[in-house]
Amino acid sequence: MNGKKIVVLGTGGTIAGTAPAAQDNIGYTAGQLGLAQLLEPIASLDKHRLVIEEVARIDSKDMGFDTWTCLALRCAHWLAQDDVAGIVIAHGTDTLEETAFFLQAVLAPAKPIVITCAMRPATALAPDGPQNLVDAVAVAVAPGACGVVAVCAGTVHGAFDVTKQHTYRLDAFSSGDAGPVGYVEEGCIRLSRSWPQAGTGSIGMVEILAGARQWPRVEIVMSHAGATGRLVEALRAQGIDGFVVAATGNGTVHREIEAALLEAQAAGVRVVRASRCPQGRILERPGDALRAVALSPVKARIALMLELFEAC
Ligand code: SIN
């Protein structure tokens, strides 16, 4: 580890979760332990270099805009310090990919932000959190590391590509067609492609978020067999700024939802298509009436919210 500090931010998750019995890997409560309790027993970490800060202690299914804003502000603060090499964030697995995408989109940091997690609670017979934390710190001090990445089960995933793919296995994440950024092997990073791009974040977005009274309302609707346009109409009646349609295959949308979405678009509501397929990206065809993005529906929603912020 070089001489600079590593800031470890806690948000909760299974990594900080506790269960009544050590053999119980699912009946736990997320976000119970503090970061100091998680890090203290890990002898291989140089604690003098770690700055610990608790941002939240939640189950990441409950992640919200306030916590994201707070996280982005704390990351921006720490990244600006010359004596900080990078940031590690302990996070739940369930919305990790959304937080990773959000931070990469708004910060695109020149230093690494490494989000890590666990599939088993801290009280498990064989918890995966401690090794993931050790690996995350190794990535945070790796020469040349930059951008937002996720580290889980020895694999480094880029923020734009990472998705949770498994409900139970320790190696729960995938980068799909893009493949992982690399692997952590005994504290060494074996890169398989380049780090996420630094320096393309939304200019001033963190300040805009901090001053925002509310975020644009963007909802995800799914195209499926037997779909109707009624959900789209009901949401429009409530007042909505944008829709992401989780489209079938290469971006196709049931004709009834499509008609409702085209009407919404004509009335000024932003609409984007994102495929509900876990692999691949929508290849746009000439004449497509609804814009497509090369993102999963949950990430497309974040991208559209940020776009709407910028348009204000
Ligand atoms: C969470 O996402 O906070 C709970 C589930 C997990 O971390 O695996």
CATH number assigned to the domain comprising residue 9:
3.40.50.1170
User: Is the same domain home to 64 and 164?
Assistant: yes
Range of the domain at 112: 5-191
Confidence of residue 169 (pLDDT cuts 50, 70, 90): very high
* Residue that finishes a domain, picked among 191, 226, 252: 191
pLDDT in tens, 52-76: 999 999 999 999 999 999 999 999 9
Ligand 1: residue of 11, 57, 94, 98 to mutate (most ligand atoms within 8 A of CB) is 94
Per the structure, how many domains does the chain have?
A: 2
Any idea how long the chain is?
A: 312
| Inside any domain, residue 251 | yes
pLDDT in tens, 209-250: 889 989 999 999 999 999 999 999 999 999 999 999 999 999
* Residue that finishes a domain, picked among 191, 224, 248: 191
| Inside any domain, residue 245 | yes
CA atoms within 13 A on the CB side of 167: 1
User: Is the same domain home to 105 and 30?
Assistant: yes
Residue 84 identity (one-letter amino acid): V
User: Is the same domain home to 110 and 243?
Assistant: no
| Inside any domain, residue 232 | yes
The Å distance, Cα 66 to ligand 1 centre, comes to: 18
The Å distance, Cα 205 to ligand 1 centre, comes to: 27
**Which pair of tokens denotes residue 5?**
């500090």
**Which pair of tokens denotes residue 27?**
């009946």
Rounded to whole angstroms, the Cα distance separating 113 from 71 reads 11
User: Is the same domain home to 241 and 293?
Assistant: yes
User: Is the same domain home to 58 and 136?
Assistant: yes
Neighbours of 277 (CB within 10 A): 16
Reading across the β-sheet that carries 270-275, which strands appear in turn? 218-222, 242-247, 270-275, 291-292
User: Is the same domain home to 185 and 227?
Assistant: no
